[in-house]
A and B are shown apart, each in its own frame.
Chain A
Amino acid sequence: MNIFFMALYFIAGFILLGVWGLLAMWLERKAAARLQFRVGPPWYQNFADLVKLSGKEMLIPERANSLVFIFAPVVSVLAAAAAGTLILFRAGDAILILYLLAIPSLGAIIGGSSSGNVLAVVGISREIKLLLGYELPFACAVIIPALKSGASTSLAGIVSQQQAGGVFAGSVSGIAGFVIAVFSLQGKIGLVPFDLAEAEGEIATGSQIEYSGILLGLFKLSRAILLAAGPLFVVSLYLGGFNLSSPGAAAAGMLKYLLVLVLMILLKNTNPRLRIDHALRFFWGGLALAGMAAILLAFIGY
């Protein structure tokens, strides 16, 4: 594949995932609103927000390192889109995607630390701890399907193995892995109960506090793309992936995606925010141990 086609793929994936993610975000907001006796926003709300944000003045704090400050959201959104594109076209390696999915969080950390705000410092200290927390169980959740598909970490291999021999979520270790993946994803995307790096009521959005205009819009966009790419990754790893060969298959793939999204929305709306020590205990204590046990189970064939 030459560089031209790669760029084309990337641009197509970026646009598709952006639109998809903003719609998923709308679904999340609308579902939350209906649960809370509210009306909720119209479907185009997130697009309108993005357009409006890009028209707003971009303020860069005096104390900020402006180069890092500007690049952090750009890198975040590009990495999220790259990971999403690889998942969408089933092209990459699961380990590579794991790396790329960590970059948006790193972007938030770097951007927050360059902004020189004291609340941002609290936010990034939480983000770092959270990153260390959820990466371990998330890695476990990637290892299980890799083991099950005969030590193959390529996404295409994992999906084709499932399409041949049944979805991994049908086995004991697969179910455990699926649950672990959904919880870790909740932390990765920063939804309640793991939204403590932003925690509007405590530290006023933490690392993003000094961001405005299009840069804030890019952070929102990277969050939206993660909301599209993250569940798709879980679908690929555990629910047999999706393909666009026929309308029926595409609908089935969409249903799988919605299942994961609805699980995350329910989790978000029925829980308060956790404290950082509780979150770490949950990720390292409960979830990582369960992840290792599931890896053992997968290794001996359950």
Chain B
Amino acid sequence: MKNKKRVIIPIGPYHPLLEEPEFFSLYCDGETVVDVEWEAGYNHRAIEKLSESKHWDQVTFLVERICGICSTSHPFAYCNAVEDILGITVPERAKYIRSIIGEMERIHSHLLWVGLAGHFLGYNTVFMWAWKYRETILDMFEMITGNRNHYAMFRIGGVRRDIEDGDIPSLRKVLGEMEGKLEMLTRAVLDDPVLAVRLKGVGVLTRRDIKDFGAVGPVARASGVDFDVRKDDPYAAYPLVKWKVITTGNGDVFDKAVVRLLETFESVSIIRQCLDAIEGKKGEIENQVREVPAGQGIGRHEAPRGECFHYVRSDGANSPVRHKIRAPSYVNIPTFKASCTGQTISDVAIILAGVDPCYCCTERVAVYDAGNKKKLYGFPELVEMSRKKTERIIKGEMK
């Protein structure tokens, strides 16, 4: 009720700050933001429902289309989930190749974020430079997978393409050049006094906030929570190579930038070790899978933005009967309530960008009354519906 008196500054549904349609209402007192409200549902695509109508192998490529940036994270998590039902592991060579693709994606995604953050701060030089360096990673993707985006590398039981020995020297060369450029960019960003003034102490999330909102990924690690699925629930080649989880303690936007930039160096090191492991060797890259038995499985992957979670249930037929996806932005975006409150409008722009939100991953359905433009299902209504459904399940009316 107290919000009624405040000035509402709208960000969205279409706004230069957002690449995707999304709506934030900033309740402001002067330039100070006192509350934030978030609305999704402008571009719902019903991926979970669609996946129930595709067969197992098709879903791998369907979930790749959830997000254009972390387009290998969703198949990664989905394959982990289905392999959990099957109870199989993938061949060692496929593990390494999966990790290479996953880490290359992390580098390009973090560089993309650095560029966008620069753009939102009006620092277009950083924007263009970061994106220029990102191009070499996309070229690397094209060399390995044939595609700059939507690599279609994963399939249940392994990967679709092998990395040829002939490609490895040029990959190493690109990685070497990449490292130099990353170092230059990191120094340029971290040593810039004006950037430090803009970013330090802005949008602070404490450890407590991270636990309360359940935030994941670089957002959590910037606040000193060393949660990383690659370490805590090892999969693919991550237990086989040496690397460390980057954490910092302040939880402001500057620290989030530090975590992301330093993570790219870890990714370069992981890719190098994986290339060492597969170079000059031959091996299977996939386990043939004939059919998926009844059961349920979960798969997790540390996407560039945090833990990506897939739950799949099978009744032994050709396609999943339930497929639940939770993208990392879904738990990171609510932290805006904690990080934006008390900040000024000019800082909110970079705080919103600071968690690297991916709205298309996060889209949820929203139901409106066409007559009076009121939202029909808010939080209380959804909780009520969920309770009723649970009661029906307990009574055995639903499976």
* Contacting pair A122 B345 (CB below 8 A): yes
Say whether B398 faces chain A, with CB atoms less than 8 Å apart.
no
User: What are 7 of the A-B contact pairs (CB < 8 Å)?
Assistant: A118-B8, A119-B10, A199-B346, A201-B349, A271-B194, A273-B346, A274-B197
A32 proximal to B (CB < 8 A): yes
Complex CA gap A272/B118 in Å reads 7
B124 touches A273 (CB 8 A): no
Distance in Å from the Cβ of A98 to the closest Cβ of chain B?
Answer: 27
Tell whether, in the assembled complex, residue B122 and residue A199 are in contact, meaning their CB atoms are under 8 Å apart: yes
Contact A119 B9 (CB under 8 A): yes
Please, how many residues of chain B have a CB less than 8 angstroms from a CB on the other chain? Answer: 32
Q: B347 contacts which of A36, A37, A271, A275 (Cβ < 8 Å)?
A: A275
> With the chains together, A131 CA to B347 CA distance in Å?
21
In whole Å, how far is A121's beta carbon from the nearest beta carbon of chain B?
8
Q: Does B377 contact A (CB under 8 A)?
A: no
> Is A201 in contact with B124, judged by CB distance below 8 angstroms?
no
Residues from 217 to 262 in B contacting A, C-beta threshold 8 Å = none
Which residues between 221 and 241 of chain A lie within 8 Å of chain B, taking CB atoms?
none
Q: Does A216 contact B (CB under 8 A)?
A: no
Q: Are B10 and A202 in contact (CB under 8 A)?
A: no
Say how far B27's CB is from chain A's closest CB, in angstroms.
12
Residue on A with the closest CB to B188?
A: A270
Q: Does A161 contact B (CB under 8 A)?
A: no
Q: In whole angstroms, how far apart are the Cα atoms of A273 and B129 in the complex?
A: 17
> Which of A37, A199, A269, A274 interacts with B198 by CB under 8 Å?
A274
> Residue B150 at the A interface, CB < 8 A?
no
Interface assignment of A16: CB less than 8 Å from any CB of chain B: no
- Contacts A37-B129, A193-B194, A201-B17 given; does A32 touch B9 at CB 8 Å: no
In contact, A37 and B128 (Cβ under 8 angstroms) = yes
Q: A121-137 interface mask toward B, CB cutoff 8 Å, 1 = contact, 0 = none?
A: 11001000000000000
Contact with B along A159-185 (1 / 0, CB 8 A): 000000000000000000000000000
A36 in contact with B129 (CB, 8 Å)? yes
Seed contacts A202-B120, A269-B125; 9 additional CB < 8 Å A-B pairs: A118-B8, A122-B9, A199-B349, A201-B16, A201-B349, A271-B194, A272-B118, A272-B198, A273-B121
Query: A272 near B195 (CB under 8 angstroms)?
Result: yes
Known: A37-B128, A201-B349. A273 touches B31 (CB 8 A): no
In angstroms, how far is the closest chain A Cβ from the Cβ of B83? 42
Query: Do residues B124 and A202 form an inter-chain contact, with CB atoms below 8 A?
Result: no
Residues of B within 8 A of A193 (CB): 122, 194
> In whole angstroms, how far apart are the Cα atoms of A271 and B119 in the complex?
11
CA distance A275 to B199 in the complex (A): 10
Give the distance in Å from the alpha carbon of A201 to the alpha carbon of B18 in the complex. 9
| Residues of chain B contacted by A271 (CB below 8 angstroms) | 123, 194
Q: A272 contacts B194, CB within 8 Å?
A: yes
Task: List chain B positions with a Cβ less than 8 A from chain A.
Answer: 7-10, 15-17, 31, 118-129, 132, 192, 194-195, 197-198, 344-349
State in angstroms the CA–CA spacing of A272 and B195 once bound together: 6
**Which residues on A sit within 8 Å (CB–CB) of B119?**
201
A198 (CB) vs chain B CBs: closest residue: B122
Are A192 and B123 closer than 8 Å at their CB atoms? yes
B9 / chain A contacts, CB cutoff of 8 Å: 118-119, 122, 203
Mark contacts of A201-218 with chain B using CB atoms, 8 A cut-off: 1 yes-contact digit, 0 otherwise: 111100000000000000
Interface check A196, CB cutoff 8 A: yes
Partner of A36, one of B124, B194, B345: B124
Could you say which residues of chain B place their CB within 8 Å of the CB of A275? 198, 344, 346-347
Query: Whole-angstrom distance between the alpha carbons of A276 and B15 in the complex?
Result: 21
**B residues in contact with A269, CB < 8 Å:** 124-125
Residues of chain B lying within 8 A (CB to CB) of residue A276: 31, 344, 346
Query: When chains A and B are docked, how far (Å) is the Cα of A215 from the Cα of B125?
Result: 30
A residues less than 8 Å from B346 (CB atoms): 196, 199, 202, 273, 275-276
Give the residues in chain B near A277, CB-CB below 8 Å.
Answer: 344
Q: B125 touching A270 by the CB < 8 A rule?
A: yes
A28 CB within 8 Å of chain B: no
Any chain B CB within 8 A of the CB of A49?
Answer: no
The answer to whether A36 touches B120 (Cβ under 8 A) is: no
Closest A-chain residue to B124, C-beta based? A36
Q: Which residues of B contact A272 (CB under 8 A)?
A: 118, 121-123, 126, 192, 194-195, 198
Closest Cβ–Cβ distance, residue B325 to chain A (whole Å): 30
Across the interface, which residues of B come within 8 angstroms of A202, CB to CB? 17, 120, 345-346, 348-349
CA distance A83 to B346 in the complex (A): 32
Please indicate the chain A residues that have their CB under 8 angstroms from the CB of B31 in the complex. Answer: 122, 125, 276
* Nearest chain A CB to B52 CB, angstrom units: 39
B124: chain A residues at CB < 8 Å are 32, 36, 192, 269
List of A residues within 8 angstroms of B349 by Cβ: 199, 201-202
Indicate if the CB atoms of B129 and A192 lie closer than 8 Å: no
A273 nearest in chain B by CB position: B122
Segment 260-279 of A: residues with Cβ below 8 Å from B: 269-278
Q: What B residues does A122 contact at CB under 8 A?
A: 9, 31, 345
Within the complex, the shortest CB–CB distance from A39 to chain B, in Å, comes to 12
Closest to A37 in B: B132
Q: Which residue of A lies closest to B14 (CB)?
A: A204
Q: Quick one: which of A36, A118, A199 contacts B125, CB cutoff 8 A?
A: A36
